[in-house]
């Protein structure tokens, strides 16, 4: 029965990848105050069975007509029905192979690999996980925060408050790092968790490291990726932009490829991942009730500044502290390229700050963004100007392209190596059972479906030849940055312009 179940869901995952095509983004024709506004409501009203009140989303029947895709909607309804009728999960299965390459080969089949290559193991995972290197390289660098002179930490202790599946260690950990000045690096010196305070040399040090990484990848996937990028910010940007900016507005034309199809995509993906028996509950440690509480509790913690890598790094106190910050440097180069584009584009249509503040559509857009996005966007109508609005727009461009990639498809090379970074930590010491790992592989595989690339000619969306020229210039600058990065050896932790997609949608 397991072989039948396994291959049924493998074929379904591969089929989804095969039929998915990069999004065709049309010229906008129906947005702004002249159409029925989008009004997000509690997620519990949108999806039956989700007891989540603070998180907001648009009702399925109110998805904009130009986004509505009945075939996708019905396909995901079928998938959710199949979760009960022929579940991907089968209790009582043995654990995956101890050899990580064999475990991966068993789950990531030749059928998968016809569409996408297998993951590469990061250098930090080749031996005992190097937490100090992970603190400055790759997706977990954003968690590194200064707490004292030469002292830094990761903190996911809040996860300990949420209900988890039986037989698992309770999540949540605090990792202390100390500065190694001689090697310009960080070194993990203590991990505090349900295991107690563990230091290097303790017999449980390796287990403590795995639990810390299990907590990190859980928070990254559930909170930073789905709750904050998809729901709290990406969806609200699309709502405010559609509600407030008419089709011929310069900002609407700039933002259109980054927001189009957001409501439709979020709706179907939310149902597939968050319902009872969905991907999140079946792959990660938390129970369905624990997930619902986590999403409600963390919705209000979103902060748009996290999508401004230099400012975020300064706020966390990790710049100029005597250690190298390769990921921060990598991300800043992407942000700076987008920032130059946003600034140049705004200057095409507004002669200065006064002209921008005289644009009531833009001011209304800022009003709604500050109302919809948790904790606002850092710019109000009174503080609006070319520079402030350009930086705020860049944070959104970065969010839906760089941040979404970093927290989603990018973890392909990290999350499947569960011998180093488990998605569940069994108190017995057992590895993940076959069904949990297979579902993790299939879910991550579908994060890598072909989507519309950021490096693409969107000049057809421009209002005029000047706007089109600026959009083409942006593409040229991204290509130049890609060329510069390719002159250096490839690494798993580096994010390249060529892999970025233009929005968060499948």
Write the pLDDT tens digit of every residue in 67-102. 998 888 898 889 999 999 999 999 999 999 999 999
Contacts 24+ apart (CB under 8 A), 34-43: 34/246, 35/242, 36/62, 37/243, 38/62, 38/64, 38/239, 38/242, 38/243, 38/263, 40/235, 40/236, 40/239, 40/372, 43/231, 43/270, 43/295
| Residues 287-322 pLDDT 10s | 999 999 999 999 999 999 999 999 999 999 999 999
| Residues 175-218 pLDDT 10s | 999 999 999 999 999 999 999 999 999 999 999 999 999 999 99
pLDDT for res 91: 95
Evaluate if residue 506 carries a pLDDT over 60: no
pLDDT for res 456: 96
Query: Which of 24-38, 159-173, 231-245, 374-388 shows the lowest per-residue confidence on average (mean pLDDT)?
Result: 24-38
Q: Average pLDDT of 135-142?
A: 98
Kindly indicate the confidence band of residue 32, based on its pLDDT and cuts at 50, 70 and 90: confident
Evaluate if residue 378 carries a pLDDT over 90: yes
Among 212, 216, 210, 192, smallest CA distance to 142 is for 216
Kindly indicate the confidence band of residue 36, based on its pLDDT and cuts at 50, 70 and 90: confident
C-alpha R_g of the chain: 23
Query: Which of 226-230, 362-366, 449-453 shows the lowest per-residue confidence on average (mean pLDDT)?
Result: 449-453
2-121+210-499 has which CATH code?
A: 1.20.245.10
Kindly indicate the confidence band of residue 235, based on its pLDDT and cuts at 50, 70 and 90: very high
- Quote the Cα angle for 43-49-55, to 5°: 20
48 φ/ψ sector (left φ>0, alpha ψ -120 to 50, else beta): beta
Domain boundaries defined on the chain: 2-121+210-499
Among 497, 480, 504, smallest CA distance to 238 is for 504
Beta bridge partners of 185: 180
Residue 67 CA, chain-centre distance (Å), reads 21
Q: Average pLDDT of 412-428?
A: 97
pTM of the predicted model as reported, rounded to 2 decimal places? 0.97
Kindly indicate the confidence band of residue 361, based on its pLDDT and cuts at 50, 70 and 90: very high
Contacts 24+ apart (CB under 8 A), 199-208: 206/128, 207/425, 208/173
Cα separation, 297 vs 387, in Å, equals: 33
Burial class (CB in 10 A: 0-12, 13-18, 19+), 297: middle
């Amino acid at each position: 029965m397991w072989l039948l179940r396994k291959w049924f869901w493998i074929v379904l995952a591969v089929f989804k990848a095969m039929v998915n095509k990069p999004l065709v983004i049309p010229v906008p024709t129906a947005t702004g105050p002249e159409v029925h506004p989008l009004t997000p409501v509690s997620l519990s009203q949108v999806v039956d069975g989700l007891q989540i009140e603070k998180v907001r989303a648009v009702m399925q029947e109110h998805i904009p007509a130009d986004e509505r895709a009945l075939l996708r909607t019905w396909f995901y309804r079928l998938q959710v029905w199949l979760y009960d009728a022929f579940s991907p999960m089968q209790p009582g299965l043995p654990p995956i192979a101890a050899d990580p390459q064999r475990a991966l080969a068993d789950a990531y089949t030749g059928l998968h690999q016809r569409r996408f290559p297998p993951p590469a193991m990061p250098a930090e995972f080749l031996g005992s996980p190097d937490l100090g290197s992970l603190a400055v390289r790759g997706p977990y660098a954003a968690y590194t925060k200064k707490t004292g002179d030469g002292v830094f930490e990761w903190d996911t202790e809040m996860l300990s408050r949420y209900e988890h599946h039986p037989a698992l260690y309770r999540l949540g950990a605090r990792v202390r790092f100390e500065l190694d000045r001689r090697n310009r690096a960080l070194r993990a010196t203590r991990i505090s968790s349900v295991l107690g305070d563990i230091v290097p040399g303790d017999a449980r040090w390796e287990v403590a490291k795995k639990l810390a990484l299990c907590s990190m990848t859980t928070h990254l996937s559930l909170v930073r990726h789905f709750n904050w990028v998809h729901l709290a910010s990406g969806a609200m940007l699309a709502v405010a932009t559609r509600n407030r900016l008419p089709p011929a507005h310069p900002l609407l034309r700039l933002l259109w490829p980054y927001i189009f199809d957001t409501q439709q995509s979020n709706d179907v993906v939310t149902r597939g991942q968050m319902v009872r028996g969905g991907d999140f509950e079946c792959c990660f440690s938390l129970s369905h009730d624990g997930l619902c509480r986590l999403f409600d509790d963390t919705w209000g913690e979103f902060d748009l500044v996290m999508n401004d890598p230099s400012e975020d790094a300064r706020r966390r106190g990790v710049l100029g502290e005597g250690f190298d910050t390769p990921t921060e440097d990598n991300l800043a180069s992407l942000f700076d390229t987008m920032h130059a584009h946003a600034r140049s584009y705004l200057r095409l249509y507004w002669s200065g700050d006064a002209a921008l503040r005289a644009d009531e559509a833009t001011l209304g857009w800022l009003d709604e963004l500050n109302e919809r996005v948790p904790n606002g966007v850092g710019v109000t109508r009174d503080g609006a100007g070319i520079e402030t609005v350009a930086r705020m727009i860049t944070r959104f461009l970065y969010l839906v392209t760089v941040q979404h990639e970093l927290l989603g498809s990018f973890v392909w090379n990290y999350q499947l190596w569960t011998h180093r970074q488990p998605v569940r930590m069994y108190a017995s010491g057992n590895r993940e059972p076959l069904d949990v790992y297979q579902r993790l592989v299939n879910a991550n595989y579908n994060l890598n479906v072909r989507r519309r690339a950021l490096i693409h000619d969107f000049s057809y969306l421009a209002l005029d030849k000047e706007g089109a020229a600026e959009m083409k210039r942006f593409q040229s600058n991204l290509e130049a940055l890609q060329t510069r990065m390719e002159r250096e050896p490839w690494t798993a932790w580096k994010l390249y312009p060529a892999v970025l997609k233009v929005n968060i949608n499948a």
